[in-house]
Amino acid sequence: MRLKSFILKITLFFAAFVVIFCIPYLAAEESEFRRQFIENYKKDSFYAQSGLVKKNKDTIVSEIDALINEAMMPEKNFQERMYLLDIANSMASMNIHWNNGSEDVLNRVEKLQKQEFEKEKKKTEEIERLKEAEKVPGNFILSTYKDEMAKHGLSPVIYPHWIHRSFFRCKVCHEPIFIMKRGSNNITRTSILEGKHCGACHNGKISFDANAQENCTRCHLFGKPESNPLMDLSYYNHDKFKEIASRIGSEWNPEKLPGGKLPLDKLGFINWVELDKIKAFNPRSALDGTPDTEGVRDTSILFETSVTFLNNVLFSHRIHSTWVRCSLCHPDIFKPELGANKVKMIEMKDGKSCGRCHGRVAFTYSNCLRCHNQPRENIPQGALINRAGSSAPAQ
């Protein structure tokens, strides 16, 4: 217990250092005492500080109360709360030292600091759990209504994108059923039961019925051991996938898998292009009533790179249009004119251009050589060449 107490005090000390010295003053109204107190603290003016604390002996507790009340306002974030509580802690400690003040005030401040520290620790741990669950491209957690789910004894939903992608191409759901932007769909139990969103398939016909109460825990798995196979790809089973494919009208041919295993890229994620290439599967491209009217486009565009140590990029419309609809990219993400789009790697991390999918639902853009694989001296016959400033229309 003493060790834990010591570690917590050290942690709070460093938090105080960072907060007071590294975070700008908040926009809150500051008394002249508070302003001078912080200034003395930052300058290590302990002689001036002692005089200030002694002089304000009768008002220092009310100053601490004001800091506490301000810190606990709902709109304050962790850094802002700790900034104010750390000032209050210092005031209370110095009030004890120089004015023989009550330790009850300091104890109250430290209790709040510990509570806030624990809240932030839990929040950080939750974020790490989310990252772990979502490390497979396309996997994500539906937790918008987690408090409501908890009332019904349910965990948030973990959506295993890779499993669905094994049987349906992206164009089936995006964007006829789901807007391809996280947080834009407002998926609820009501919408599902109305046959919208997940309910388009989970209706007891194409897939298990979301209306059946016994099926709730098949999706509400986040944080449970049963969710682990969805994150490490061990959920995959030859016979299970072949049965599912047969039932929903797609194809799964495990005998064509090299070594009987899913082909993985160097980061350990499924190589969907390779699966198509070896014809190990043939996912559905449409649901009833939502035909794929755009088809597949068979053109390639050579993106010349100005970086001498990297090969060029040969963009295949066939690969992309096999999976997604043209309208998903054109014209909102890419202008449909050759040379009209300047693709920059630095923008991809913000979800722009190729980063709209890659790094989110497709292999990450950090896997550079996956795209930069076209020798600079080799221009494929028939490929369109993307040069900035060209106004030639894409064919």
pLDDT tens readout for residues 99-155: 999 999 999 999 999 999 999 999 999 999 999 999 999 999 999 999 999 999 999
> Is residue 392 one of the residues assigned to a domain?
no
CA 129 to chain centre: 11
Structure-token pair, residue 233: 């790809």
Q: Which amino acid is at 95?
A: N
* Whole-number Å distance between alpha carbons of 96 and 231: 53
Average pLDDT for residues 158-182, to the nearest whole number?
Answer: 94
Contact 85, 112 (CB under 8 A): yes
Q: What are the tens digits of pLDDT across the range 31-85?
A: 999 999 999 999 999 899 999 999 999 999 999 999 999 999 999 999 999 999 9
Phi, psi at residue 361, to the nearest 5°?
-115, -10
> Is residue 287 one of the residues assigned to a domain?
no
Q: Are residues 101 and 166 in the same domain?
A: no
For 64, the enclosing helix (H) or strand (E) is helix 60-71
Q: Are residues 163 and 125 in the same domain?
A: no
What number of CA atoms fall less than 13 Å from residue 314's CA on the CB side? 17
Per-residue pLDDT band for 249 (boundaries 50, 70, 90) equals very high
Q: Are residues 237 and 307 in the same domain?
A: no
Contact 86, 68 (CB under 8 A): no
Which is it for the CA torsion 346, 349, 352, 353, positive or negative?
Answer: positive
Q: What is the CATH number of the domain that holds 259?
A: 3.90.10.10
User: Residue 19, Cβ neighbours under 10 Å: how many?
Assistant: 20
Per-residue pLDDT band for 15 (boundaries 50, 70, 90) equals very low
Q: Are residues 278 and 144 in the same domain?
A: yes
Q: Are residues 128 and 185 in the same domain?
A: no
* Whole-number Å distance between alpha carbons of 42 and 23: 12
Q: Which domain holds residue 224?
A: 140-282
> Is residue 322 one of the residues assigned to a domain?
yes
Contact 305, 372 (CB under 8 A): yes
How many domains is the chain built from? Answer: 3
Q: Are residues 317 and 275 in the same domain?
A: no
* Whole-number Å distance between alpha carbons of 321 and 173: 14
- End of a domain among 132, 163, 196? 132
The answer, yes or no, to whether the previous bond of 331 is cis (omega within 30 of 0) is yes
